[in-house]
A and B are shown apart, each in its own frame.
Chain A
Amino acid sequence: MNLNVEIKRYNPEEDEEPHWESYEVPADPLDSALSLLLHVKWHEDGTLSFRKSCAHGICGSDAMQINGENKLACSVLVQDIADGEGDTVTFAPLPSAPVIKDLVIDQSRFFEKYRDVKPWLITDGPAPEREREQSPEEHAMIEEASKCIMCGACTHACPSTWADPDYLGPAAMLKAYRYTFDTRDDGAEERLDVVDSPDGLWKCYTIFNCNEACPKDIDITRWLSALKRRAATSQASTNA
């Protein structure tokens, strides 16, 4: 079948404002959405820019807004975004992110937020001789949160991020959860100081756009709620 593919184009050297362009693209229902973009780039217009690396949902490069919601282009099939012949599929860069060109966004702010929550193991005392042990039950608490591939679909789907570009956002705070609830980690206090702030946890209004956007189906809101409870109770205990 043939699809009408609409892409939000923006070239900072030529355009004042982003604009939409349409392409007719032949597609199979079992193609990925990414293959539509590849077809445009290879056969229609080589100047189209977008990020992709592994194309198998692991690297997290090709998160973008497809048909009005954030998805990973390689992990969504044509049959899930188009009903049939002549249907329109739209591609736009992640909402509210600074655009470098076409679908390529400037990720620096996103990764600064990631660094802010100290996404590494913080420990007191010397390293043990052998590995730091963790039971399967202890690991189960952070297993889902560990699946994050940092694609940015969630953070840029969040109305709190749109309203406040400095809001830490779901991706960074999910990482804070992942380490705060890791039984081998001793840095909870430091990390809670970062997320328990005006630009942190309390701007999460349980809107669930992050959950809907996550290509790994992580229940982000659930873990952020757990982090909220931890932040609230630890604050109560220090104030007492």
Chain B
Amino acid sequence: MAVDTQDRPTATASESSTTARQESRFQRYRVRTGMFAWLMHRLTGVGLVVYLIIHIWGLTSLTDPETFNALIAKYHSPIFKVGEFALLVAVAYHAMNGLRIVLIDFLGWSPKQKRLFVTLGAVTAIIILVGGWPSIYSLGEWIFGPGSMPSLFL
């Protein structure tokens, strides 16, 4: 079937020059559940891409055993424990909110979007606490001294 799509005037220079600030892609707007979920999804998404680039760059040292061992030794420092924990937070959130979006788009669960956010948020918190416990533990040991942390599952 032939498609007759009307040409739409795009944002012209004169329009954007009269009220340039008004037409910015950044707007001050009240953040409610849905936009908060999306903003966090974007932030964690971009963060994970940056992590992936660093991670793959780290793998290039695999050709030489000595540099690889030196790199791995660096990963045992406390700053990487923080990074490890942040990575888990980003992955857990991005995965769970991704599931939320799938349920909304594929099953039409739009009316339940806020309850979904709270429920999956609780699941995310559990994943982060259980999965992140080793990082929290070793960080605590480093800050408060050896033996100061309860050895729950470790």
Contacts and interface: CB of A to CB of B under 8 A. Distances in A.
Interface of A: 10, 12, 17-18, 65, 67-69, 93, 95-99, 106, 108-109, 112-113, 115-116, 157, 159, 162-163, 165-166, 189-190, 193-194, 205-209, 211-212, 219, 221-222, 225-226, 228-229
User: Considering residues A12, A68, A189, which has the most beta carbons from chain B within 10 angstroms of its beta carbon?
Assistant: A68
A166 to B, nearest CB: 6
B6 A116 contact: yes
B55 interface: no
Contacts of B146: none
B24 to A, nearest CB: 7
B118 interface: no
Contacts of B32: 69, 208-209, 212
A165 B108 contact: no
A162 B26 contact: yes
Nearest to B25: A163
Nearest to B3: A193
Most buried by A among B18, B21, B29: B29
A215 B108 CA distance: 22
A209 B6 contact: no
Contact of A225 (B28, B30, B33, B110): B110
Interface residues of B, number: 36
B97 to A, nearest CB: 10
Contact of B105 (A112, A163, A206): A206
A157 B113 contact: no
A188 B16 CA distance: 35
Nearest to A112: B8
A96 B108 CA distance: 29
Nearest to A164: B25
17 contacts: A18-B19, A68-B28, A95-B28, A98-B15, A98-B19, A99-B19, A116-B5, A157-B29, A159-B25, A159-B29, A189-B1, A206-B38, A208-B34, A208-B113, A211-B110, A221-B34, A229-B108
B116 to A, nearest CB: 11
Interface string B38-78: 10010000000000000000000000000000000000000
Interface in B93-112: 101, 104-106, 108, 110-111
Contacts of B1: 189-190
Given A207-B35, A222-B110, 6 more contacts: A93-B22, A95-B27, A157-B29, A163-B25, A166-B10, A205-B38
A109 B11 CA distance: 8
B141 interface: no
A221 B110 contact: yes
Contacts of A222: 108, 110-111
Nearest to A221: B110
Contacts of B18: 12, 98-99
Interface string B102-145: 00111010110100000000000000000000000000000000
Given A69-B29, A206-B105, A221-B113, A166 B8 contact: yes
A12 B14 CA distance: 12
Contacts of B34: 206-209, 211-212, 221
A106 B23 CA distance: 12
B9 interface: yes
Contact of B21 (A17, A68, A69, A206): A17
A209 B35 contact: yes
Contacts of B22: 10, 18, 93, 95-99
